[in-house]
Amino acid sequence: MNSKMIGVDVGGTFTDVFILDEANGTAEVAKVPTTRPDQSGGFLNGIQQRVSDLSQIAVVVHGTTAGTNALLERKGAKIGVICTQGLRDVLEMRRRDRPRTWGLRGNFDPVVARSQRLEVPERTLADGTIYTAVDLGAVKQAAEKLRDAGCLAIAILFANSYANPKNEIAALEVIREIWPNEHVSASHEILPEIREFERFSTTALNAYLQPEVSGYLGRLEKALKSGGFDGEFMVVQSNGGVMAVDTASKHPVRTALSGPAAGVIAAGYIASSAGFDNIITGDMGGTSFDVSLIANGQSMLSAQTSIDFGMVVRTPMIEITTIGAGGGSIAWVDKGGLLNIGPESAGSDPGPVAYGLGNDRPTVTDANVVLGRIDPDNPIGGKLERLDVEAAKRAIDTHVGEALGLDTLAAAEAILRVANSRMAGAIRLVSIERGFDPKRFAFMPFGGGGALHAGAMLDEVGIARAIVPRYPGVTSAMGCVIADMRQDFVQTLNSLVDHIDLKALKAFMQSHRDQGMALLDAARTQFEDRLVTFEFDMAYIGQTHTVSVPIEVAFDQNGYFVPPDHDTINAAFDAAYTQAFGRLLKNGVRRILNLRSAVTGKRPKFDLETLAPTNSDPVSPKATRPVHFAGQWEETAIYERLSLPIGTVIDGPVILEQPDTTVLIEPGLQGRVDRFGNTIIERIGDVK
């Protein structure tokens, strides 16, 4: 019987697999090295380590960095663009920005060379009027030229196609007849939203990824099937929802932040199960610290992101703020005598000085090693035999201690203090600056390194507690199993509320709903519930920043929408605007820019208690070692974290170790194992 649900997260170093057996309520994890360049090797290897008969699997959900990496490394396909006469350079001109404020250095090559961006006579105006009908002969000629030049995918980018897609549709039909594969997309299909650069960029990057990502997903699916797999294969999107593999092949650009999004989804679920609906997640990797905020159980979504300078992707994605302070970030003292952390990083290769792989400048991890917080004899990941503590000390002396007149330990503590203050800054940024009080939030570290810094976040930001999930190293893989199925839609309306055509609005809403439901129907997964939500991007006329205005929609007895009327829209805007800015504008004229719709299929959730510790006997420390805190060494107990029974309470200083994570509980803090096996860290005085 096929009762297994599998989440697979392919990261830069490791491929994590999370296997849930719904029949007997058990879960297990596997961690295997990521294979490169083709990640499908590690993917299958990871699954097969735990499941020999693939026909037992009901669902495989994949969090992938294939798309992100192809964009960052510029390894997408050779593609062509057909665009409106006069606009071939929009992709290269961007929004007239620059890579960095200061220095005036750096330039930009778009993913499509200028010679593969061809113009055709056609023009639609902003109100949807066709000013010049599309010259289909020219379209055909251009497409043939691009095909003969070896382009593997093609993007049609016409001005104002969000307002009327007629010219793009006509061009699509002509090109499909002669194009040798499926990879033909028009900008109104990918993003029917005003702003040509953002729409063109998203569409072109989608085309750039299509051959690569659809090929990769196709190979995976084929390999799974040849092993007897007959279930549903899905992919996590940047918005934190999953989509079917054929949708992902058509819209690979939606996977740009697939892996990190899955992590945030899992973090949210773990926290709310544990009783905390407000959390700030912190994923500390080799080069960066990624922070995301979940309020009342809801992740924040942002409308777009830049994968790199000029590489703009506009699809809804879980908002993740990244700062360059990871374990591999380099500590250095500038000419003015100020200690800095990053942005330069030694990453995971060559990595920290203690790895002995060629880097000689001290990193955050080196400071943790020197202070005894990381066990030099059992490095995480299993690649290395042991860590070179002496080399780490020397590097800290040379590059930090001498410049600041500090001894090795004081210099190492200084590195951690500055790194912690930068991480705390990122937490303030996502909370305080957006009107959330961090004291009402719990901090959830995941990834390999975050749990070493959890206590510092309580101190620096005034957060009440940290929750370290039972398996912080496989959070993203677990998120794959938890995530709902979700499709987002957008349509630019650009109309004053008083002038909005309610019939046309209803048709857009109905079409979004129907498309979303059809995708849910096509999936072979069970849904506990289906949700359709709508919101408008609105502003007063003259304002450029819009506010999101959620709209409640009623249904008539036949199950059809009753579209909102003008008064409902106005009232909803006033409520949202008041919440955002405090006061309304007298006599302001309200405008709707976009309709945004989301169709969500709620997937059944598994009970996290299946992961809880089964051992109920008290556990003694497996060892002790000296760890340096606030200027002195303290002999610190080391526990095997996974064997600690539910209800265990331990006062710091203490270190909890598991194969891929080290949890540090500093003096003055207390750790407690909850009924799911999470470790809750609180100040001793605060514990109720």
Partner 1 sequence: MSEIDPITLSVLAGRMEQIADEMDATLFRAAFNPIIAEAHDASHGLYHAVNGDTLVQGKSGLPIFVGVMSFAVKAVIEKAAADGDLEDGDIYIFNDAHIGGTHLSDMRLVRPYFRDGVLFCYLASVGHWHDMGGAVPGNYNPAATDVFQEAFVLPPVKLARAGKFNQDIIDIMLRNTRLPQSARGDLNGQLSALDLGVKRMDELLDEYGAETVSAALVALGHRAERLMRSELEALPNGRWEAEDFLDNDGIEDTPLSIKVALEIQGDQMTLDFTGSAPQCAGPVNIALPTTVATAYVAIKHIFQNLPANAGVMRPIDVIVPKGSILSAEFPAPTGGYTETILRMIDVIFSAFSKAAPDRVVAHAYGTINALSIAGKRKDGKPWVMFSFYGGGHGGSPEGDGLNHGNAPISTATIPPMEILEAAYPIMFRQWALRPESAGPGKHRGGMGAIYEIEVLEENGAEAFLFGERGRYAPQGIAEGEEAALNVFSYQQDDGWHKPPLASKVRGIRLKQGQAVRLETPGGGGYGPTSERAPLAVARDVASGLLSAVNADETYGTAWREAQS
Residues that bind partner 1 (CB under 8 A): 86-90, 92-108, 113-115, 123, 125-127, 131, 159-160, 162, 194-198, 334-340, 404, 414, 417-418, 421-422, 425, 428-429, 432-433, 494, 542-545, 581, 585, 587-588
Nearer to partner 1, 320 or 339 (CB): 339
Number of C-beta neighbours around residue 232 at 10 A: 19
Residue 161 Cβ, how far from partner 1 at the closest point, in Å? 10
Residue 547 Cβ, how far from partner 1 at the closest point, in Å? 10
Nearer to partner 1, 332 or 527 (CB): 332
Residue 1 Cβ, how far from partner 1 at the closest point, in Å? 54
CB hemisphere CA count around 161 (13 angstroms): 31
Residue carrying the six token digits 């699997």: 57
**What are the strands, taking DSSP E only, across 239-374?**
242-244, 279-284, 289-295, 298-299, 301-302, 305-306, 312-313, 317-318, 321-323, 329-333, 339-345
Residue 181 Cβ, how far from partner 1 at the closest point, in Å? 25
| Residue 553 backbone class (left: φ over 0; alpha: ψ -120 to 50; beta: rest) | beta
Asked if residue 562 lies in contact with residue 555, where contact means CB atoms within 8 angstroms, the answer is yes
Q: What are phi and psi of 161, to 5 degrees?
A: -70, -15
Nearer to partner 1, 215 or 588 (CB): 588
Rounded CA-CA distance 555/566 in Å is: 17
Q: How far from the centroid of its chain's Cα atoms is residue 547's Cα?
A: 23
Nearer to partner 1, 193 or 232 (CB): 193
Nearer to partner 1, 437 or 514 (CB): 437
Nearer to partner 1, 541 or 562 (CB): 541
Nearer to partner 1, 52 or 129 (CB): 129
Which two three-digit tokens encode residue 220?
């995976």
Nearer to partner 1, 133 or 585 (CB): 585
Residue 514 Cβ, how far from partner 1 at the closest point, in Å? 27
Residue 633 Cβ, how far from partner 1 at the closest point, in Å? 20
Residue 557 Cβ, how far from partner 1 at the closest point, in Å? 39
Helix (H) or strand (E) holding 572: helix 566-581
Rounded CA-CA distance 93/107 in Å is: 11
Rounded CA-CA distance 45/17 in Å is: 10
Q: How many angstroms separate the Cα of 124 from the Cα of each of 43, 130, 162, 174, 610? A: 46, 4, 10, 18, 57
Residue 105 Cβ, how far from partner 1 at the closest point, in Å? 5
Nearer to partner 1, 225 or 434 (CB): 434
Alpha helices, H only, 462-501: 475-482
Residue 542 Cβ, how far from partner 1 at the closest point, in Å? 6
